[in-house]
Structure 1
């Protein structure tokens, strides 16, 4: 899949791009089923809220076949390679949950701020490309972006290790207020199978989920191979050290797995 000139312009101007209907219901069903299984496992890669509800599962592409295929899917890898003009590797892979009633906040932050400070990533030549596994609504903890905030560069941040179960380099209220006055705040919503890609410096957050409706999103953090991390401080399953360029699989890789599961169930 290649982005159009209009999409490339939109991404440059706003810092994000929303791609609806990128994956079919059948493809998403396989991923959602596997995500639920992973959340029940007792693994160090699965972080939980203070309530015990799942918060995020790291590195699923290294131990789960469905997510291995998603991590090399051409509909995700292709557009990022196109934007960077070179091959990419997997810097991070996570399945974020906003569990019904128990999904906690993700504070205002820039992802590249963490990648630079904690992992020694030289430049913001990495980005998240996200796949909705559930319907993302205005009420169940959607991602919130400040459009055009990626043009502000790397902002000063403090290391918050208290608010939630996951430490994060967060922005202060004054900075967020100033940026929001300049660019506003948007919360892209859509059905399962929709895809969001956003710049590593785009300021974003998500509110708690106090509804009965789950909100699971898979994030591939794809980094230009030349921009590999130099000084990692986090575990390998959070910030990967394998800088091998991703070789995209066939476009029907997930459908092939879905069909195999269907046949096995008969």
Structure 2
């Protein structure tokens, strides 16, 4: 799946891009069920909220055939290859459930500062691409972005709660001065969101009865492989085999086989 020139321009200007209705209802149903099933299991790759609700399931493409197959889907790989301009490997794969009523906040941050400082990624030549497994509204924990913030480059931060590199409040105040400085990434289930590693973003908690499950794949340029990882391998992968994009029909056929 290739981006149009208008989409490329929009991504380069804003630092993020929503592609509506990329995955079918059947595909989303299978992914949603798999996301629910894996978060029922207690394992170190699954981090939880204080009340025990799942917060992040890392590296689930390593033990889930469904997510492993998804990770090579051309609808995810090709747009990122187009923007990065070279072969990719998977730096990180995760599901963020943002469950109904209990999904907590993700404070303002940039992803690349963690990839660089904690994983040893040389340059911001990695990118997130995500699939909405539920309808994402402004009210159920949608990601909020500061458009064009990626052009400022990496903002250094110090580790905070749970060793996460959330932005210092003074740096947030420098990029958000009014409500018009924030845009919310919303869309139907099956839509795809892609965003730059230096895009300033965060999300509010989910106090609604509407879940907001999202699958994230972070692809990195093979030439930009991490060199000083400090985090577990299930968070920052330390094998760098290039991903070969599979046509969308492959995942669709796989989904059909699961429906029997």
For the aligned pair, the TM-score class normalised by the smaller chain equals: over 0.9
In structure 2, how many angstroms separate the alpha carbons of the residues matched to 1:156 and 1:244?
A: 30
Instruction: Work out which of the residue numbers 167, 172, 177 in structure 2 matches 1:176.
Output: 172
Aligned pair count?
259
- Given the alignment, which residue of 240, 244, 249 partners 1:247? 244
Gaps of 5+ in 2: none
Distance 2:141 2:131 in 1: 15
TM-score under structure 2 normalisation? 0.97
Q: Is the 8 A contact 2:18 2:187 kept in 1?
A: no
Paired position in structure 2 for 1:200: 197
Structure 1, gaps ≥5 residues long? none
Q: Give the distance between the partners of 1:152 and 1:167, measured in 2 at CA.
A: 24
Q: Which residue of 1 aligns with 2:216?
A: 219
Match of 1:126 in 2: 126
CA RMSD between the two structures: 1.1
Which structure 2 residues correspond to residues 80-119 of structure 1 after superposition, within 5 A? Answer: 80-119=80-119
* Counterpart residue number, 1:51: 51
* TM-score w.r.t. length of structure 1: 0.95
Q: Which residue of 2 aligns with 1:137?
A: 137
State the 1:156 CA deviation: 2.3
Deviation at 1:18, TM superposition (A): 0.8
How far does residue 174 in structure 1 lie from its aligned partner after superposition?
A: 2.1
Partner secondary structure for residue 96 of structure 2: strand
Please give the alpha-carbon distance, in whole angstroms, between the structure 2 residues aligned to 1:216 and 1:91.
20
Secondary structure of 2:214's counterpart equals strand
**4+ runs deviating over 2 angstroms:** none
Q: Distance in 1 between matches of 2:14 and 2:248?
A: 28
Give the equivalent residue in structure 2 for 1:188: 185
Are 1:152 and 2:152 matched, yes or no? yes
Shift of 1:251: 1.3
